[in-house]
């Protein structure tokens, strides 16, 4: 365990931490940033401790922060104290919170998933907005889903924007990343019902024959799901649109479906 103080903007550690805001450097390091005591406390309570804890010298004392600091040190992690200005430089926020942490990225392979551990799983195809991705993680946490599977080219689940939008769910939900051509054989290799909102031979989403484990798939924000992806689904459902809009936001549609499936499966 170690503790040190950093006072210079040009310190190599500051540069390395700041670089984690960039996807290329995150992937190279296999690490990501999370900011704020609430989010770091959620991580701690979910069994995830930061490898490095960075705290502002001018912070107010807080029992949760003290507990987090003690656990990080006990686990052999590093605690860094620095100025609020340097912390802002690291996080890229003018009003940075008093603490941030560096976490190792999780295993995002399909093989790491145990589909039998949950009745509901969320699947997003080519979801590009970090806010939507974070919202889907929050939805998954709320309905007790096993996790979120990202298909094809989605936003980075470990970006600062996604982590912030997840409100801590990045630490409670398993995340997997795969291409469609790898996901579909994996899905068909065991039990699993693939469901999507669609207009193609669809049934009303209320009262549809959902089955566990149910994989709820939403598509790209502007294009939706490709036709062949929809046709590969076991069940296609439709949601009524009473106004001028012809579709819901992707993350909202996923949430509506997830709660309907939760009720249908006795959740």
Cα 157 from Cα 177, distance rounded (Å): 9
Q: What is the mean pLDDT of residues 108-116?
A: 96
Cα 96 from Cα 94, distance rounded (Å): 6
Closest CA to 127 of 136, 115, 139, 119: 136
Cα 185 from Cα 202, distance rounded (Å): 23
What are the tens digits of pLDDT across the range 14-54?
999 999 999 999 999 999 999 999 999 999 999 999 999 99
Report helix, strand or coil for 64.
Answer: helix
Write down the pLDDT at residue 98. Answer: 86
Report helix, strand or coil for 115.
Answer: helix
Structural domain spans, the chain? 2-104, 110-264
What are the tens digits of pLDDT across the range 78-106?
999 999 899 999 988 776 678 999 999 99
Q: Which helix (H) or strand (E) holds 88?
A: helix 84-91
CATH classification number, 2-104, choose in 3.30.465.10, 3.20.20.80, 3.30.1330.30, 3.20.20.140: 3.30.1330.30
Write down the pLDDT at residue 176. Answer: 98
Cα 82 from Cα 110, distance rounded (Å): 39
Write down the pLDDT at residue 106. Answer: 94
> Rg of the chain over CA atoms, in angstroms?
20
Question: The domain 110-264: what is its CATH number?
Answer: 3.40.1280.10
What are the tens digits of pLDDT across the range 193-233?
999 988 788 999 999 999 999 999 999 988 889 999 999 99
């Amino acid at each position: 365990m170690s503790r040190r103080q950093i006072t210079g903007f040009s310190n190599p550690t500051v540069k390395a931490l700041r670089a984690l805001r960039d996807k290329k450097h995150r992937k190279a390091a296999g690490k990501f940033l999370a900011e704020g005591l609430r989010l770091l406390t959620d991580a701690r309570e979910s069994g995830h401790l930061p490898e490095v804890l960075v705290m502002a010298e001018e912070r107010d004392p807080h029992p949760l922060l003290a507990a987090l600091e003690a656990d990080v040190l006990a686990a052999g992690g590093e605690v860094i104290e620095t100025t609020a200005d340097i912390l802002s430089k690291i996080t890229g926020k003018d009003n940075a919170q008093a603490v941030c942490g560096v976490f190792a990225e999780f295993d995002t392979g399909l093989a790491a998933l145990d589909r039998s551990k949950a009745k509901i799983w969320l699947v997003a195809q080519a979801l590009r907005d970090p806010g939507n991705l974070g919202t889907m993680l929050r939805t998954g946490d709320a309905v007790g889903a096993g996790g979120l599977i990202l298909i094809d080219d989605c936003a980075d689940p470990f970006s600062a924007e996604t982590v912030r939008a997840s409100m801590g769910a990045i630490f409670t939900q398993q995340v997997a990343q795969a291409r469609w051509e790898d996901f579909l054989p994996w899905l068909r290799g065991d039990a699993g019902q693939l469901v999507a909102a669609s207009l193609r031979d669809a049934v009303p989403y209320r009262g549809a024959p959902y089955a566990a484990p149910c994989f709820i798939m939403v598509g790209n924000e502007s294009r939706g799901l490709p036709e062949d992806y929809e046709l590969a689904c076991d069940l296609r459902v439709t949601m009524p649109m009473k106004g001028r809009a012809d579709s819901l936001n992707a993350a909202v549609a996923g949430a509506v479906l997830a709660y309907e499936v939760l009720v249908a499966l006795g959740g």
